[in-house]
Amino acid sequence: MEEILYDIRRVTSGVLLKKNSCPLLIKDFFDDKEYKASVLYAGNKRPYYEVDKSEEIVGPDLFEKYKNDPLHSPWLRTKSLQVVKTDTKISVKLRGYYLGRESGVPYFKKSTSYHSFTYNFKRNQFFICTINNQHKKRNFQKTLRCISPYHFFGNLSAHVQDSFRVYETNWDDPERVLKLFLEGISDDIVNEVDLLEYVVKKQGFKLPNNFDVFAERIRDYGCRIPTKIYGKKYGFKYIDTVMGINILSGDKLRRVLHKVSNFNLNLYYEMATFFSDKFMLSRPDEDLINIFNSYILHSGLLKPEDVNLTKQEKINMFNIIMEKIKHRDADMYDIADHLRFKVKLSKYEKVKWKSKTVNEFIDEHHQWSLSVDSYTKGLVKRRYNKEFINEITKSIIVGDDTYYPVLLTNTDEYNMESSLQMNCVRTYSMQAHSVIVSLRKNSPNSDERLTIELGVKPGEYFDLKRVQTKARRNTPPGVEWESALFVLDMMITTVNQKKLFTLHEMDVEYKMGLPRHAKAKFKDFGYYSTVCWDDEDVDEETGTVIAPVIDEDIPQGVMDYLLQPFDATNYANDDDDLPL
């Protein structure tokens, strides 16, 4: 016997009005760029009607009023939702119907949709059925699939919420629909976790006290989900099944998983891959619990064989990761960068991971960053004219606060700004068309700052314009910075009006090889222009700067050194070592 627990139906109609003018043939618009998009939309087999400036009108009787008027585009939509329960199942059924016509077209287009979300009491399984265009005798699409209980409620909730949003406040609270569905299964079920617990227990599993952790998190980290088939293999012990299908083993991990409040399996996998399973299982239970409980994002660590860390270096790295977890740091991308720095530096010198704390790591990471730049990119020093520096670095007073614009001029300053702000500004140090200013609050060394890019606009005179303004992690600045930024813009305007900015120069020093000196220059292609260094070229079609690098695998400074002419007269004896 079928019992309808909930039933609601809404009908809406509307019309898109067209101008009351004679239709124009499509060919009349082919030469007009303004109408090109409209032409493609209207097609080339029927007249085109221009849309009226007024917005689409929605009302209860508009479809009946305009359905016989070929000039306008009326439409009718019907949406219904039911919660239906029988002796064998309970379902949420959503139906949709649409009828509409384009202007100048003699026929209407119809579409229908049907979605049902069902729980079968006897089979203890969830099903989702979808039928599109079911009004057609042919060419309709129908799917019926059994879905995991870990994914069912999320799908149901999303469809119900979406249905209620379509028709604004006239619909009842969607939570009522979900509540009726859950109570229709059992009076003890009030949320998704209760539903999962009810179903998994009926499958025969013995659940841990922290089952809610796995119910909420197991699908978030790409874990394999325990099913009844896997349960039979592992004696229907829930934790043992989760471990078995996710390639985890050992009494220690079993003990740990009974105590966790999150299930960050991805992080554990990544650390076990890098440090080895044996190393991870040798750590205290508290460390493993903290790893699973963390919300640190996947970081992409290198393969251990590519880095070749010593045992002590691995311990240092592990301790820093645990300190970051303790302080709830959001990611480990700096750890991954540190490993890549070590691999690069190992080609030129011997380096060891000596830092044991996060503060020591920050300093070491900065030094390694400078060393990598000195070998690969070189140490950059930019030179600006004094008049520009004096104007753009004037302090800004706003109320009780003083803001200090700091002009970045060398690799060290770019790297420090990038490290503190967690952005990619370090890659801008050799870009001729950009000038970077760090706006700092209440102290020239303040951590509270904005990173600002000033673009160099070519012309009769070289003007500056603020093109990027970013807070930490590339987030937009808060409203508290608006007054200071307004004053800074006025200072930039003064620089442009007084023509205080002239094209800058750059010196680059390499640990190996000859230094590089370059001047910024203006490059004009007629239809666009740019600023680059005088020893660079620019692809005219793409605007890409082509740097003067002979071999991408060898730093420019090293290549300059290798290409120096060899003078054998400097070596008196044949036994002397000759340069390679």
Mean pLDDT value of segment 415-434:
85
Query: In this model, does residue 87 exceed pLDDT 80?
Result: yes
Share of the chain above pLDDT 70, in %: 82
* Strand 396-398 to 73-85 pairing: unpaired
Residue 20's pLDDT band, with cuts at 50, 70 and 90, is: low
Q: What pLDDT does 573 receive? A: 38
Integer Cα distance of 378 and 370 in angstroms: 9
Q: What pLDDT does 181 receive? A: 95
Residue 527's pLDDT band, with cuts at 50, 70 and 90, is: low
Share of the chain above pLDDT 90, in %: 47
pLDDT (tens digit per residue) in 231-258: 999 999 999 999 999 999 999 999 999 9
Query: In this model, does residue 329 exceed pLDDT 80?
Result: no
Residue 28's pLDDT band, with cuts at 50, 70 and 90, is: very low
Q: What pLDDT does 408 receive? A: 96
Q: What pLDDT does 457 receive? A: 78
Instruction: Identify the weakest region by mean pLDDT among 51-65, 139-153, 225-239, 500-514.
Output: 51-65
- DSSP-derived secondary structure letter, 410: B
Per residue in 169-204, is it b (16+ CB within 10 Å) or e — as a string? Answer: eebeebeebbbebbebbeeebeebbbbbbbbbeebe
Query: In this model, does residue 271 exceed pLDDT 70?
Result: yes
Instruction: Identify the weakest region by mean pLDDT among 142-156, 171-185, 446-460, 519-533.
Output: 519-533
Q: What pLDDT does 423 receive? A: 80
Between residues 548 and 443, which one has the greater pLDDT? Answer: 443
Q: What pLDDT does 546 receive? A: 54
Residues 6 or more apart whose Cβ sits within 8 Å of residue 186: 198
Closest CA to 491 of 386, 384, 401, 389: 389
Residue 349 buriedness (CB in 10 A; 0-12 / 13-18 / 19+): exposed
> 509: which strand partners?
379
Query: Hey, how many other C-beta atoms are within 10 angstroms of the C-beta on 370?
Result: 14
The SS3 call for residue 485 is: helix
Mean pLDDT value of segment 16-31:
51
* Strand 57-58 to 89-100 pairing: unpaired
Q: State the average pLDDT for the chain.
A: 82
Overall size of the chain counted in residues = 580
Q: What pLDDT does 577 receive? A: 34
Mean pLDDT value of segment 275-285:
93
